[in-house]
Structure 1
C-alpha cells in the first residue's frame, strides 16, 4: 500500500459543506459498503473520574474510592470493565488515585490523562502509572484555532511526547480529539501510521482513542468521512494497521447518537468503548457505562458481571452525591420500568413479560412497577396491588374484584377534584388496606 503522507495545508479545512455552523450539520453519503468486523474480544473503559467529573461538583476522595469499588464489583473479575482513567492535577485526585491503586484490583486497571507536554508527563512518571492517555487534537478547528499551529508543527509535537512515554516504558494512549471533523487522510492517517512505527521501534503497543468530541459521529453505513463511525474505525484498521485491541472509541451525546455510535465502533473493528457512569460529562454527556454493559450482553452474553451493582451505583449517586437522575433514564431512572397506561397495566397483570424489557427484578433488582393515575383503570390498580404486596399466583387480585372497583372510584374522585399528580404508594397502600384487610399484616419491603 502506498504510504500516505502528512498534508500540511496553509488554510484550515473546516468542511463547511458539512459543518456550516449557521445551520444544522449535514450528513453526506457515498454509499460505500463497509463490512461488519466485530472483534472476538470487546470491552468497556471508564472516564467517570476524568471526563465525567468535569461536569459536576468535584468528587471527594471518599466518593471516588467508593465508585471505584462499585466498578470493580460490577466487573466482577470478568475484564469487561477493563480500565478507568484519572486526573493528576490536584492533591485530591492524586490521593484518590493512590488509594484506588492500593486496593490491588485487577479490574478496572487505573490509567491517567494528560495534555501533550513534558510537564504533564512528569506527573505520570512520578506516580508510577503504566499507561496514560495523551490529548492529541486532530481537527483543523483545534490545530489552527486552538493550538495556533499548523499540521506539521502539531504532528511533531505529538510524536515527541509519545517517544518520551515509550522511552520511559509507559504505554501512550493517544486521544485523537475531534476526529469527526478531522482530515482523515491528510492528518489522522499519517499521524497514526507514525505512531504504529514507534510501536514497532520500542516494542510497546501505542493505543489509539478516536474521540467524537462534539457527538457528530454517524453510525449507519454509506456516510462520508469525517462523520462516519464505520469509516473511521475500519480506516484506522485498514490504512494504519491498528490492532483492534489497541483501538478505542470515545463519544458524546450531542445528537442523541452516543450509544449507537459506540456500538458501531465495536461492530466495525474496535475492541474498546469509553464511557462514564450514568453518562455524566460535558454538555450532553458521555456514553453511559450501564448502556454499554447491556449492549455487551446483547452481543456477547454476560460472562459473569454483577449487574445488580448498576442499581447500587444509581442509588449512591442519588443518595450520597445528590445527583438527580432523570426518572425515565433507561436501567437507572426511577420510572424506567414503571407503567401508567391502563392497557399496559392490563398486560402486566396477565404476564409481566408482555410489557417489561426483561426480568428487571432478577437482573437489576428492580421489580416492574405500576404507577396509578387517572389513566390506570382497574387493571392498573390490580397490578399495583399484586406487585406492591408481592402476591403469588394463588393470592393475586383480579381487576374485576369489587374491592378494586371501589378503589378505582376513590382514584377517579381524586382527579375529578383537580388532582394532577400520580397517586403515591403510601396513599394507595392505605386505601387498599381499607378494602383488603388480609393485606394489613403483609410485610411490605418496598419503600413508599
Structure 2
C-alpha cells in the first residue's frame, strides 16, 4: 500500500480527537473444518475464561435505550399469551418506557392468527413507543406478511458460530454469508429495514467471520441507503464483561470490534443476552458502556432456558448510569409483577429484585429496629415512591417489638403522629402473642392476615382507631 493510500484511511475520531485509522480489511476465513474453540468449550467441562489482557476503551453512546422481546423470545419458554394479555402488557410497556421512548421497540411473532391479531390491536393504540417490529423466517412470504402488516423493521436470523453454520445449516462460512446477503437484500427490496440477529456470537470467529460479514452489510447499507441493525446475540450466555477477557467471550471486545473495526454506529448495535451464567444484567450494562445503544430484554427476564435480561433491571440500570429516569414510570414495574402473578398465574421467586414479594422485606429484629428509626438504613432507595412498594417486615420470633411496630406502620400506611413506636401498648401485646406462638412450637412466619386481624381487635378493645 502506498503512503498516500494509508493517509486516506486516517481520520480524527470526534470522541477522542485522536488521529485513527478509519478503514480496516478483514477477509472471510472460509475454513474447511469448524472452529469450535475447544480450549474454551470442552463440552465435558465448565467453559473456561481465557485472558489476553487486551483492554478496549469504554465509549457509552450519547443515547441508550431498551428494546423488548417479551412477545418473541419470552413466548418461547412459557405458554403463549392471549391476545388480550399481549395488549395489556404492551400498554404497561408503553407507560413504563415513558414519553421519551426509553423502551424503544417491541418485537412480535407473526405466525399464528392470535399473534397477528395482537399486532393489529397494539398498532391501534397509536403509540410512538414502543415501535412494533417482528421476527420472521427468511422467506419472501414472510417479508410480504411484514409489509402487509405495515411494519418498518423485522428481525432476521443470521447464525454466526461454526456450531450453527456447519452443524445446523450444513453450510460453509462463505455459503452462509452468500445466503444471508441474498435474504437481507430481498428484505430491503421489499421496503423493510433488516435487523440481523447474530446468533451465538460468543462462540463465533469474530475476525474470521463476524467482522467480514458485517463489512459486507456496511457496504450494502451505503449502496441502499437503508440502515441495517446488528443484534449481537449471546445465545448461550457465554459472554463476559470482565476487562481483558479474550474473544469470543468478551462483551467489551465484541461491541468495540463492531464499532471500531466494522464501523457500525452505536445506534445500530443491540445486545441480546441470556442468563445461563448469571451474567445477563451485567453483560447488558457492559454493552451499553462499550458502545451499544440498545439492549434487548424481556419482562421479568422470561425467555429461553434461564431467560433473558429483565427489562425492569435495565430500567434501574439506566437510572443509575444516567442519573435520571428520563420520564420512565417505575411504579408500573409493580403493576407488571402483580399482573403476572394474579392474571397469568406466574409465580415470581419472592426474593427477585424489584418484583419479588419479599425483595424489600426484612426478618431480622436488628434490621427492623433500623428501619423503624430511619428506613434509609436498610432500604435500597425509596421503594414506596419509585415502585409503590414500601419496605416491609416479616414478623417472626426474631423480629422483636421494632419489627412489629414497623409492620403496623407499613401495613396500615401510618406516618407521623399516627405511627406506632415499639413502646406502644398494642405493639407490646402483639409481641407477647408472637412470643407465645413460638414458645409453643410454631416454626413459620406470622402471616399478614393474622397480624391484621389481631391488631384491629386490640385497637377496638382499647377504643382506638388505626389510621
TM-score (structure 2 length as normaliser): 0.92
CA-to-aligned-CA distance 1:142-194 (integer Å, 9 cap, x gap): 11111111111111111011111112221100000000000001110011110
Instruction: Tell me if structure 2 keeps the 8 A contact 1:116–1:157.
Output: no
Pick one of 362, 383, 388 that aligns with 2:411.
388
Query: How far is 1:436 from its partner?
Result: 3.8
Instruction: Tell me if structure 2 keeps the 8 A contact 1:372–1:422.
Output: yes
Pick one of 108, 117, 120 that aligns with 2:130.
108
C-alpha distance in 1 between matches for 2:92 and 2:358: 23
Pick one of 293, 309, 331 that aligns with 1:271.
293
Alignment pair present for 1:82 and 2:104: yes
255-264 or 389-398, which moves further after superposition?
Answer: 389-398
Give the aligned partner of residue 440 of structure 2: 417
Query: How far is 1:432 from its partner?
Result: 2.6
Query: How far is 1:394 from its partner?
Result: 2.0
1:36-435 correspondence runs (5 A):
36-300=58-322, 301-401=324-424, 403-435=426-458
CA-to-aligned-CA distance 1:404-439 (integer Å, 9 cap, x gap): 333223212222322222101121123334544468
5+ long unaligned stretches in structure 1: 444-448
C-alpha distance in 2 between matches for 1:339 and 1:14: 47
Alignment pair present for 1:441 and 2:441: no
3-state secondary structure, aligned to 1:174? strand
CA-to-aligned-CA distance 1:96-140 (integer Å, 9 cap, x gap): 111111211100000000123334323223322110010111001
Instruction: Tell me if structure 1 keeps the 8 A contact 2:240–2:283.
Output: yes
3-state secondary structure, aligned to 1:111? strand
C-alpha distance in 2 between matches for 1:429 and 1:146: 59
Instruction: Tell me if structure 2 keeps the 8 A contact 1:433–1:439.
Output: no
Give the aligned partner of residue 20 of structure 2: none
Query: How far is 1:397 from its partner?
Result: 2.3
3-state secondary structure, aligned to 1:383? helix
300-309 or 272-281, which moves further after superposition?
Answer: 300-309
Instruction: Tell me if structure 1 keeps the 8 A contact 2:459–2:466.
Output: no
5+ long unaligned stretches in structure 2: 1-22
C-alpha distance in 2 between matches for 1:109 and 1:187: 31
Q: Structure 1 residues 151 and 96 mapped into 2: Cα distance closer, same or farther (>3 Å)?
A: same
C-alpha distance in 1 between matches for 2:25 and 2:292: 23
* Number of residue pairs aligned between Structure 1 and Structure 2: 443
23-32 or 422-431, which moves further after superposition?
Answer: 422-431
C-alpha distance in 2 between matches for 1:213 and 1:420: 43
3-state secondary structure, aligned to 1:175? strand
